[in-house]
Homo-oligomer: A and B are copies of this chain.
């Protein structure tokens, strides 16, 4: 592997000049530049980024952490994130926590050891305490979830409105016993969607019953239990809203194998809008989140923070809402 020194010698210039050519400094004379460029090509020289990073005290790398990658929900976000990083000539490291704290710590360590300049936490990949601890020292953007009382940039959809719209649609179809299968009950997105749900019920004069709400992870057994829990209380269900397409697909699976006692054509609206909602039978009506854009925008905002060191604190902080829409399918 040839170094800048060898290039300099070969081209009869100083390493400073080679460096300038490498960085497109307009100050170097075209003739010199061409000579250097030719030698670089000849020697097949590639700068050592390890050295450049140290010298510039910058890795031009950011990290995005996701809870997992098995749900296509996250892979779409990751896809957008990757694109934004490329568009800004940053490297991006995408990591999945898999509910393991030590994995999360590995990524945070990259921040602390200068390997990464900033981080995007997607969904509930970080808790409030950790976030508070990291916030004043590092550049952080949240994606899809925020923490009330913490003034961090967060990119998400208008979950309250989306919850309202989903509920409204089911009511329009004549449903009046609408169950709600949520994700993590503490999360901001769940809280907001439930608010919208309540509002729509109220508008329609339907009494709100907290026991029609149950939380579940993105696992078949969890979802089955949650739905059966509601049914088991003797509560009728003629409509369901779920926190994710995956949950909705599990409900369909349960209905089909008769482990969930619901009619096959139950009114159901899920969140996310991944391709999962299209391959089930029946296909699922869903609130489509702009997943790619959520990822893209999160990373873009983070890079803005990185570049724009001078911006006064708090200027860019706050909630950034991206538009969602509903796609009506068979459920």
Interface residues of A (CB under 8 A from B): 1, 46-51, 53-54, 57, 59, 68-70, 72, 75-76, 78-79, 82, 86, 91, 93-96, 98, 102-103, 106, 109-110, 112-115, 220, 246, 249-250, 252-253, 256, 275-276, 278-281
Contact = CB atoms under 8 A, between A and B. Distances in A.
Contacts of A256: 281
26 contacts: A1-B114, A49-B110, A49-B113, A49-B115, A50-B57, A50-B59, A50-B114, A53-B54, A69-B75, A70-B75, A70-B76, A70-B79, A75-B75, A78-B96, A79-B98, A82-B103, A86-B103, A86-B106, A91-B110, A91-B115, A252-B281, A253-B279, A253-B281, A276-B279, A279-B280, A280-B281
Contacts of A47: 113
Closest 7 pairs (CB-CB, A-B) = A69-B75, A281-B281, A49-B113, A249-B279, A50-B54, A46-B112, A50-B53
Contact of A280 (B70, B98, B280): B280
A106 B93 CA distance: 13
A250 B281 CA distance: 11
Nearest to A110: B91
Contacts of A110: 49, 91
A50 B252 contact: no
Nearest to A283: B253
A93 B93 contact: yes
A70 B69 contact: no
Contacts of A220: 278
Contacts of A113: 46-49
Nearest to A53: B50
A224 to B, nearest CB: 13
B96 A93 contact: no
Contact of A54 (B51, B109, B112, B115): B51
A75 B256 CA distance: 27
A87 to B, nearest CB: 11
A69 B72 CA distance: 8
A278 B46 CA distance: 48
Contact of A69 (B57, B78, B252): B78
Nearest to A78: B69
A50 B114 CA distance: 7
Contacts of A1: 114
Nearest to A89: B106
B91 A94 contact: no
A152 B2 CA distance: 26
